[in-house]
Amino acid sequence: MPQTDAPSWVLKLTICMIGMFAFLQVYSIQAVLPVLMVDFAATEVQAGMIVGATVMAIAIMSPFLGMLSDAVGRKYFIVGALLFLAIPTALIAQSPNIAWMAVFRFMQGLSVPGITVVTIAYIGEEFKGRAVTELMSFYVSGSVLGGFLGRFLLGHLHEFIGWRHGYYVMAVMTLIGGIWVGKMLPKSRCFDANPNFRSAIQTLGEHLTNRYVVTACLLGACVLFSLVGCFTFINLHLAGTPYELSTGALANIFAVYLIGVVITPLSTTLLRRFGSARTVRVAVVFSMIGVLLTLVTPLWGIIVGLAIMSSGVFVTQAATISYIAVNVEKGRSLASGLYYMGYYAGGTMGAWLCGLAYSRGDWSMTVWLLLIVQVLALLIASFGMVKTKTRAA
């Protein structure tokens, strides 16, 4: 039987650490993008696609690793993916040019869904009721913390030992994380293996026509489009005149992510009181206000805008993945995989299209593109999300 009791602090910490180590590497490259553009003579679009390479791999692999996990299990999949992630992270330090860096970044992305997708399925299977929402909030908080730490650590490590040696440090950290999760995460008790590939394909077809899954995928795409586009190219904006921030200073800007670590668990209260649909609508509007604020000139105003924008995005993400966990019972891992495919496909598009926008109109054009996508997210939340659970066909 799934557990309904309040999770232990050790389990909460472990789930938080899974989220943290899954995302420690995904966006760390953003903090040193201005340096890499000089080292490798890269354009804005190439810089964006270094970020997008990992995101693209995650989008491609998410549904497949979800199906594989439905057949073979949860815990060992999560631990194995964490240990594998350390390998391409170390290889990035050896990159001779921007093309090879993109290859190693792509390899990183191949393992991330084995952590993210399977963890969401694990929580949905092993827990029920309030415990699900609570653990989901800790998972998202961990992912937010990992997103911050990756950028923060690499930015400062570059100033002390260079970005290449910095990636060796990040690889060792990931290995330690894999060992911790292997020892502390409880084994699955409610997992029901589904090794039948034909059944998985049938479940895939059902998910593609499931309103809950489709709406969540579209929302996820808009969410990561905004986050990747904003936090990739704000670095180039702040590295140029009149700000001319160093990699360490740019890394400090990502401290706004820490607000998300606090706000995301509080989103549990909002979800219980107002439901997913209303919470998402308010969060998206909040995020749009933050994006507009980044157009001001003073640096403190830009930082406030980034804090508001990212907080809205994190609440939207927490509400969306809880929406899937609560409303989808069959093929949870595959449903999570589809969500992450949409989520990271949006991030890939954000890295590419915002790169084009920045190269043609600097930060102001990038902001207007982000606002268009957020309006689309608002429409999806308003007309796509439903408050009550309907009976499956």
What would the pLDDT profile of 29-74 be if each residue is shown by its tens digit? 988 999 999 999 888 888 888 989 999 998 898 878 767 777 777 8
What is the mean pLDDT of the segment spanning 294-303?
A: 94
Q: Between 130 and 172, where is the model more confident?
A: 172
Q: Note whether 357 and 367 are within 8 A (CB).
A: no
pLDDT value at 392 more than 50 = no
Q: Note whether 358 and 365 are within 8 A (CB).
A: yes
- For 15, other C-beta atoms within 10 Å of its C-beta total 26
Report pLDDT for 197.
65
**Among residues 113, 118, 328, 319, which one has the least CA distance to residue 204?**
328
**Among residues 75, 59, 63, 62, which one has the least CA distance to residue 15?**
75
The conformational region for residue 162 under phi > 0 = left, psi -120 to 50 = alpha, else beta, is left
Domain annotation for the chain: domains and CATH numbers: 9-187+195-383 (1.20.1250.20)
Q: Note whether 353 and 361 are within 8 A (CB).
A: no
Question: Which tens digit of pLDDT belongs to each residue from 247-283?
Answer: 899 889 888 877 766 776 777 777 777 777 888 888 9
Report pLDDT for 16.
93
**Among residues 71, 69, 53, which one has the least CA distance to residue 108?**
53
State the residue for tokens 């093929």: 331
pLDDT value at 313 more than 50 = yes
> Mapping DSSP to helix (H, G, I), strand (E, B) and coil, where does residue 127 land?
strand
| Contacts of 173 by beta carbon, 8 Å cutoff, 6+ apart | 21, 24
Q: Note whether 281 and 202 are within 8 A (CB).
A: no
Quote the CA–CA distance of 253 and 236 in Å, as a whole number.
13
Backbone angles phi, psi at 378, to 5 degrees: -65, -40
Q: Angle at the Cα of 139 (from 134 to 142), degrees rounded to 5?
A: 125
Report pLDDT for 243.
92
- Average pLDDT in the chain: 86
What is the mean pLDDT of the segment spanning 210-234?
A: 90
Report pLDDT for 256.
84
Res. 389 pLDDT band, cuts 50 70 90: very low
Q: Note whether 253 and 305 are within 8 A (CB).
A: no
Instruction: Name the H helices within the chain.
Output: 9-23, 33-39, 44-72, 75-92, 98-111, 113-126, 130-184, 197-208, 211-239, 247-253, 257-293, 299-327, 332-383
Res. 327 pLDDT band, cuts 50 70 90: confident
Report pLDDT for 172.
96
pLDDT value at 390 more than 50 = no
User: What sign has the CA pseudo-torsion 376, 377, 383, 384?
Assistant: positive
| Contacts of 47 by beta carbon, 8 Å cutoff, 6+ apart | 33, 36, 37, 232, 236, 355
Rounded alpha-carbon distances, angstroms, from residue 178 to 14, 174, 184: 10, 6, 10
Q: Note whether 387 and 274 are within 8 A (CB).
A: no
